[in-house]
Amino acid sequence: MAYITEANFYDAVPEGRVLLKTSDRPIRGWGAVSSSIYPAQGTGEVIVLKQAGADLGAAEANLAALTEEGEWFWDSTTDKLSLYTATDPNTLKMTAGEDHATYVTRRILAASRVIDSLLTAKYQTPFALDKSGNYDALLILITCYQLAVMQSAGKPEINEKYREMLMNVDKTGLIDQILLGIVKFGYEIDVDSSRGKITGISVSGGLNLIETRGTALGVKWDAVKVIIDGTGAIGTATYSVYVFDDANNTLKTLQVVTSEVIDGSFQSLAYGLQLRFRGDSGDSGTTNDEWEVEVRGVQEDVTNAGFRTMQSARY
């Protein structure tokens, strides 16, 4: 399972385009021509053959298939590369490399597997996608940094920078902090999970749901829907709240708050929780602006407790 895309890597690592560039090796020592076919011995595996940087296309099935300019074949048994050409390839810039997309996919997968190995003592791996079909943002970031470490061998300054971002002697790297419980993945249950996790679903207006308070009671888990159903500024706009409907076994359909005027203070949410909207002067809420508040009951087991403290005494 690959946790990142090539675009993720370029976004997270400024040196990414240089680090992921495939390195072509020169092919030299072409032998004597025979019927327009030039041989090169001991080249090692050739996946992509290029002439002056231009890909000559896929290899032919066998030596007998070489009949046109630029056709080539690598024999894995004899480790011999053969090229059909009218021009002596010793006078050309001939290089062997790898298809960029294939190379990137292979390296991303390798970095993802290393992250699994580093975290498997604490987490079930491979990690799962969230409900939106995405990997956790923290998982994406650390996988990008791991790929940067792997791709920067021979570049000490870059290599050390990304190693430090992941793990270091001071335990301040991201993987250090994940293993210590100082930072967490979004799906983990921590001591604040019973307060609810706010996610904007579709928000275009100026009013925003910014915080919750309280402790969720009488629920194991729910995805609570908060929606603005009356346009206007604070004091005019209204909101409604929908929770899981046990009777019909459907999410976000049982209305528990109906068109309550937003006053900017803490107001009713669900399960004993309260919410608060905020907007700058003149900002208005837009009808159908929607948020989700993921709630876990206070009685649920904590999977990432974060910091732990203890008292000590000197005798």
pLDDT at residue 249 above 70?
yes
pLDDT at residue 61 above 60?
yes
Residue type at 160 in one-letter notation:
E
Label residue 41 by pLDDT band (50, 70, 90).
very high
Residue 186 lies inside a defined structural domain of this protein: no
Please give the pLDDT value at position 298.
74
- The closest of 270, 257, 260, 147 to 218, measured between CA atoms, is 270
- 110 with 166, same domain: the answer is yes
Average of per-residue pLDDT across 135-161: 95
Per cent of the chain over pLDDT 70 is 92
Average of per-residue pLDDT across 309-315: 44
pLDDT at residue 6 above 50?
yes
- 212 with 284, same domain: the answer is yes
- 144 with 264, same domain: the answer is no
- 156 with 251, same domain: the answer is no
Q: How far apart are CA 116 and CA 125, in angstroms?
A: 6
Please give the pLDDT value at position 188.
67
- 205 with 250, same domain: the answer is yes
- 10 with 144, same domain: the answer is yes
- 68 with 147, same domain: the answer is no
Residue 314 lies inside a defined structural domain of this protein: no
- 15 with 111, same domain: the answer is yes
- 120 with 106, same domain: the answer is yes
pLDDT at residue 311 above 70?
no
Q: Residues 79-113: pLDDT tens digits?
A: 999 999 999 999 999 999 888 898 999 999 999 99
Q: Residues 184-214: pLDDT tens digits?
A: 887 765 444 557 888 899 999 999 999 999 9
- 114 with 242, same domain: the answer is no
Average of per-residue pLDDT across 3-17: 97
Its domain, for residue 85, covers 25-97
- C-alpha distance from residue 154 to each of 6, 69, 157, 158, 210 (Å): 21, 38, 9, 9, 46
Contacts of residue 248, Cβ cutoff 8 Å, sequence gap at least 6: none
- 41 with 70, same domain: the answer is yes
Q: What is the pTM of this model?
A: 0.62
Q: How far apart are CA 58 and CA 47, in angstroms?
A: 8
- 255 with 125, same domain: the answer is no
Label residue 296 by pLDDT band (50, 70, 90).
confident
Q: Count of domains in the chain?
A: 3
